[in-house]
């Protein structure tokens, strides 16, 4: 195609794991030829709660320059990749609140026919990772979106072991993002760019 596809990576992260994975997703999508916007969901927690956790406060300061996502960013994108930590096996309130602002675009049909995918993290092994991604993907079906999960399409996916999307176990900060997670992020991003490019070209030819 003459112009690159557009990918929005929209995430919420409190203590920084998802923030780091989101950067690997974004960088890998750029290397694969996409135009990328890296964006975060607006923080809803009070400043006192953030300040009470050193890792949370540090991540808030480190990512202060990353723009907050808006519905216009989703309209702009050909593909959207959402990242969230698990919250009792579900999507974080901050990311869900952003998704809930997309009703206007949904009503106009502007969320349909885009590619969507997701990634997550948890403190413990398993820890609700798969249920979090499946819950996130429910929204994509309502959008009329095309869900592009990584599956087991690359040997690297047998290391992180999650066909629904990149996932990481951080053990409450004890396990930094490792090579297996970085490889999974790369595989997912490359697949998203490849499938979105093909989809966009096919729709343009119809």
- Within 13 Å of residue 204, how many CA atoms lie on the same side as its CB? 11
CATH 3.40.50.360 is right for the domain spanning 6-205: yes
CA distance 83 to 9: 8
Residue 206 has what pLDDT?
A: 86
34-43, pLDDT tens digit by residue? 999 999 999 9
Q: In this structure, are residues 46 and 99 in contact, taking their beta carbons and an 8 Å threshold?
A: no
CA distance 193 to 206: 20
Please identify every stretch of the chain with a pLDDT value under 50, giving residue numbers as ranges. 1
Residue 1 has what pLDDT?
A: 47
- Within 13 Å of residue 42, how many CA atoms lie on the same side as its CB? 9
Where do the domains of the chain lie?
6-205
Q: What is the pTM of this model?
A: 0.97
Q: In this structure, are residues 45 and 95 in contact, taking their beta carbons and an 8 Å threshold?
A: no
CA distance 12 to 87: 12
Q: Strand, coil or helix: what is 105?
A: helix
């Amino acid at each position: 195609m003459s112009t690159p596809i557009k990918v929005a990576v929209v995430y919420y992260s409190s203590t920084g794991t998802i923030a780091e994975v989101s950067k690997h997703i974004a960088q890998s999508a750029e290397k694969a030829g996409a135009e990328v916007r890296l964006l975060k969901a607006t923080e809803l927690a009070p400043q006192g709660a953030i300040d009470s956790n050193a890792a949370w406060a540090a991540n808030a300061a480190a990512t202060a320059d990353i723009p907050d996502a808006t519905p216009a960013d989703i309209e702009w994108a050909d593909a959207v990749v959402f990242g969230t930590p698990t919250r009792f096996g579900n999507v974080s309130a901050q990311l869900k609140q952003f998704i809930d602002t997309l009703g206007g675009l949904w009503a106009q049909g502007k969320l349909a026919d885009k590619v969507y995918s997701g990634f997550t993290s948890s403190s413990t092994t398993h820890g609700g990772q798969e249920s979090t991604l499946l819950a996130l993907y429910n929204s994509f079906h309502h959008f009329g979106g095309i869900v592009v999960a990584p599956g087991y399409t690359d040997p690297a996916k047998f290391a992180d072991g999650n066909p629904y999307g990149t996932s990481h176990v951080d053990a409450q900060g004890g396990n930094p993002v490792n090579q297996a997670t970085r490889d999974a992020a790369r595989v997912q991003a490359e697949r998203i760019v490849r499938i979105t490019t093909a989809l966009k070209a096919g729709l343009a030819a119809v």
